[in-house]
Amino acid sequence: MSLFAAVEMAPRDPILGLNEQFNADTNPAKVNLGVGVYFDENGKLPLLKCVAQAEAAMQADPKARGYLPIDGIAAYDKAVQGLVFGADSAVVQDHRVATVQAIGGTGGLKIGADFLKRLNPGAQVLISDPSWENHRALFTNAGFQVGSYPYYDADQLGINFDGMLAALNAAAEGTVVVLHACCHNPTGYDLSPAQWAQVVAAVKARNLVAFLDMAYQGFGEGIAEDGAVIQQFLAAGLDFFVSTSFSKSFSLYGERVGALSVVCASAEECTRVLSQLKIVIRTNYSNPPTHGAQVVAMVLGTPALRALWEEELAGMRLRIRAMRSALVEALNTAGVTTDLSFVTRQKGMFSYSGLNAAQMQRLRSEFGIYGVDSGRICVAALNTKNLPAVAQAMAAVMQ
Ligand code: PLP
């Protein structure tokens, strides 16, 4: 009997399965809208100029690769704090934020989840319904019971905000609430500032633990605008968690650059929290890798590179917005008469198109257009060349 004889086959990742199906499709007009990455107008993954310039500078002055400190590059952690909280914010000035470099946004979530499990082993975790597919698995694997709060309202093509708020108000004290800070994945629907204010009030009143997942800062309205929700949590005087990802905003997916920040009540508390975050890291992977975080730290810390990054990020944001408007226009031209304004109301890379699973399957089998069965399409994978065919196909399955 072999050691692994009883090992069960794990379920396939649904999105990776879609990619395999896409790659095997021989239709020359095929379009992959199932991905979770930003492609440029030529359908290519961009290498940002600011990244290339930082790498050139690093290559011109190569350094030996020693181990990093457990919490990562100090300049990087500081730059993350500046971006997320504002360099001049009181919490940063008062040393009340513990920030650690993490292996992507996923790594930030995982460090936070492991720390929370030690802090409050009996807590429940609530994620949005629906959410990024890894949220549930990640918190479940960290040992939590994971439930959900209502979010998407299919009838209204928007957010079931009353349902969401009612769920938060019914949650037990200490419940960890995972919130998408901006550019909700998968729906594209974000809360308004007034709705956020009510969420913050509920978190405070019920003594909940907010865990803000910020994987798309700068992809919605702008860096500061997308980070505004953080200021609301700070103003309420709450302790909370923020995971950061630079995968999308720097197009550094494979470098795995992210962070976790924990806002604490005092500098002394922050020192103790940081010591525990370091234990989590030390016992998982010892310390983080050097390259990606060095690039991000150099870009954010060098005024000319930072300005270039902001320009390139705005370029990605505006191109996505242009694709949203162009998609609505092309669908209208193709004869779709229903109100499609929700497409331009949505933020970030994704759109819940309102199409059902049968329609999404027809898009694949008849037109070679690959989106997720939930109706999610990646607007950032549209360009002026593939958009007309996508709109024609969508119109065909909608009528
Ligand atoms: N959180 C959300 C909401 C995401 O959409 C993603 C990536 O798609 C992540 C976290 C993970 O980011 P990373 O690739 O940096 O681990």
Quick: pLDDT tens for 13-38: 877 789 889 999 999 999 999 989 99
Q: What is the pLDDT of residue 247?
A: 98
CA-to-CA distance for 108 and 132, rounded, in angstroms?
15
Q: Is pLDDT above 90 for 270?
A: yes
Least confident of 3-17, 67-81, 153-167: 3-17
Q: Is pLDDT above 80 for 86?
A: yes
Please tell me which residue in 117, 132, 196, 309 is annotated as part of the active site.
Answer: 132
CA-to-CA distance for 116 and 113, rounded, in angstroms?
5
Shortest-distance Cα residue to atom 8 of ligand 1: 36
**17 vs 196 pLDDT, higher one:** 196
Q: What is the pLDDT of residue 306?
A: 98
Alpha carbon of 164 to ligand 1 centroid (Å): 22
pLDDT digits (tens, 9 = 90+) for 275-317: 999 999 999 999 999 999 999 999 999 999 999 999 999 999 9
Alpha carbon of 215 to ligand 1 centroid (Å): 5
CA-to-CA distance for 6 and 306, rounded, in angstroms?
53
CA-to-CA distance for 333 and 308, rounded, in angstroms?
37
**From 185, 229, 243, mutation site for ligand 1 pocket: most ligand atoms within 8 A of C-beta:** 185
Residue 251 carries which side chain, given as an amino acid letter? S
Closest C-alpha to 354, from 339, 370, 333, 334: 339
Neighbours of 142 (CB within 10 A): 19
User: Does 213 qualify as catalytic in the annotation?
Assistant: yes
The DSSP 8-state label assigned to residue 66 in this structure reads -
366 and 393 in contact (C-beta within 8 Å)?
yes
Q: What is the pLDDT of residue 225?
A: 96
Q: Is pLDDT above 90 for 141?
A: yes
pLDDT digits (tens, 9 = 90+) for 208-235: 999 999 999 999 999 999 999 999 999 9
**87 vs 75 pLDDT, higher one:** 75
Neighbours of 272 (CB within 10 A): 11
350 and 376 in contact (C-beta within 8 Å)?
yes
pLDDT digits (tens, 9 = 90+) for 333-364: 999 999 999 999 999 999 999 999 999 999 99
Q: Which residues pair with 241 in a beta bridge?
A: 211, 262
Closest C-alpha to 296, from 106, 65, 104, 108: 104
**29 vs 245 pLDDT, higher one:** 245
Alpha carbon of 112 to ligand 1 centroid (Å): 14
Q: Is pLDDT above 80 for 366?
A: yes
Q: What is the pLDDT of residue 1?
A: 87
261 and 95 in contact (C-beta within 8 Å)?
no
Tokens standing for residue 183: 């550019």
Going by their DSSP bridges, the two strands 31-32 and 369-370 should be labelled as parallel
CA-to-CA distance for 316 and 320, rounded, in angstroms?
6
- Alpha-carbon torsion (314, 316, 319, 325), positive or negative: negative
Q: Which residues pair with 350 in a beta bridge?
A: 378
Going by their DSSP bridges, the two strands 176-180 and 209-214 should be labelled as parallel
Going by their DSSP bridges, the two strands 152-153 and 158-159 should be labelled as antiparallel
203 and 177 in contact (C-beta within 8 Å)?
yes
Q: What is the pLDDT of residue 12?
A: 81
User: Does 162 qualify as catalytic in the annotation?
Assistant: no
In degrees rounded to 5, what are phi and psi of residue 145? -80, 125
Q: What is the mean pLDDT of residues 162-181?
A: 98
What ranges make up the beta strands (E) of the chain? 31-32, 97-103, 124-129, 145-150, 152-153, 158-159, 176-180, 209-214, 241-245, 257-263, 350-352, 369-370, 376-378
Tokens standing for residue 291: 């390259």
| Position in ligand 1 atom list of the atom nearest CA 245 | 15
Q: What is the pLDDT of residue 15?
A: 78
264 and 97 in contact (C-beta within 8 Å)?
yes
Q: Provide residues with CB under 6 Å of ligand 1.
A: 36, 104-106, 132, 180, 185, 213, 215, 245, 247, 258
Q: What percent of the chain shows pLDDT beyond 70?
A: 100
User: Does 239 qualify as catalytic in the annotation?
Assistant: no
